[in-house]
Chain A
Amino acid sequence: MIVSGEQGRRNTLPGFGLTMGLTLTWLSIIVLIPLAGLFIKTFELSWDQFIAIVTSRRTLNALKISFGLAFAAAAVNLVMGVVIVWALVRYRFPGRRIFDAIVDIPFALPTAVAGIALTSLFAQKGWLGAPLAELGIKVAFTPLGIFVAMIFIGIPFVVRTVQPVLIDLDTEIEEAAASLGANRWQIISRVILPSLIPAILTGFALAFARAIGEYGSVIFIAGNLPNVSEIAPLLIVIRLSEFRYADATAIAVVMLVAAFLIIFAVNRIQSWAQNRFPVH
């Protein structure tokens, strides 16, 4: 948010009309018109047709798989993200800086590369797949594989939203609590965790949203069996290749609305956190 009481002075710079016009034009061409096109296409369907597509068995299962596994993976990321942040911020250990840097790799590595690497890693003869197979656990080409890929893609979201908050957290409050006789667990659960919660929830929501829409890193390891291990984005691709545009569009709208709701929730969490902790 920018606060300026000097409205008059700001307008002395040239180029507002031109740059704003260009911005709105380019934004419309690349983002707004294509997105509007998707919704217009959906309105060509009647409500009953839309419901019939979305509630057909295969679509419903694909949506369940995408949303359910994304939620579970984001939950794992929530817990492990906090553990990782805690280790990186509060402790010193050999290789800490390197581990801090590699947290960003799931952001930076192209999804197709992540996809084939995870598949080979967890395949029956893979480095991790072979020992897991001996334990009777099959990861690649099962829903468990989708789960693993979604965990991979979501790690940085929780770590990178929680980390700066924990770094900025004033340790004086902890010392005050300690001097008042609180034990370590009380300090963590009553002093530290509450101030991390908005960041944790934001990271969770971002990881969840990313995993729902994720395609490249999932499809190689998924197995892609309809109703079992077929994610919603893949079903969109399949419907497109069958020229069933209406089906593809209806699934896309459901996913897009969900994504926008999550972004809305994140914004609410942020403003709630700002009201609760006005310092930030």
Chain B
Amino acid sequence: MVTAVTKEQNAEAAKAVVENLSSRFSDAGVVAEVIAHTSGKAYEFVRITCSPDQWRGVAKHLKNEVGVNYCAMVTGTHFPEGGADRGWEVAYHMYRWPIVNVAAHTMTVLEGDKLKGDEIPVEFEIFIPLPAGDTPSVPSIQDIWEGADWNEKETWDLVGIDFEGHVNMHRVLNPHDSPASFHPLQRQHKIRYHDFNEMYDDPQGFGRKPVDEGRVK
């Protein structure tokens, strides 16, 4: 029977991480808070909001002091109506997991409810709002976590966010000969047939009302 990480452990670990980050970064304006998921088991995670200049410092602290060892995903979003401060946003999702190398012919069996302190898994969500404009840019963390490498390539390819210091940036999903400024997930690019008329948007007529009786599409 597997023993999962309990809610108390999760809350305790999240709180400890937030205290660590706040004591180090709160005067620089980096906000770290504990937020709970809103469904299922409602476990808690750490949400950090910082600016692009502080990001490398926060990232190195997370890797070396807090022990975050897994960079899961990098998401870029375009907010054309977000205002001057939040025209773009990069969201990083990372985890701290107790994974170590083991000697040959041995294995590490971790029991979820017996993990303590730094070994308790914690989930991180880091938001970096970027000012509106045509050249959003964030420092790259490719040298800190290798897992961020292709994630950053994909974010640049699809959304157009520039990662400063990223070595060997190239298109990964779109064809290599796409125009240099073609980043499809930006809001000004529309999908094909995006202005469908009502017949295709509502083919079964669920949105029809009695007043529409006799109306021809």
A-B complex is real: no
Q: Point out residues on B near A: beta carbons under 8 Å.
A: none
Chain A residues with a Cβ under 8 A of chain B: none
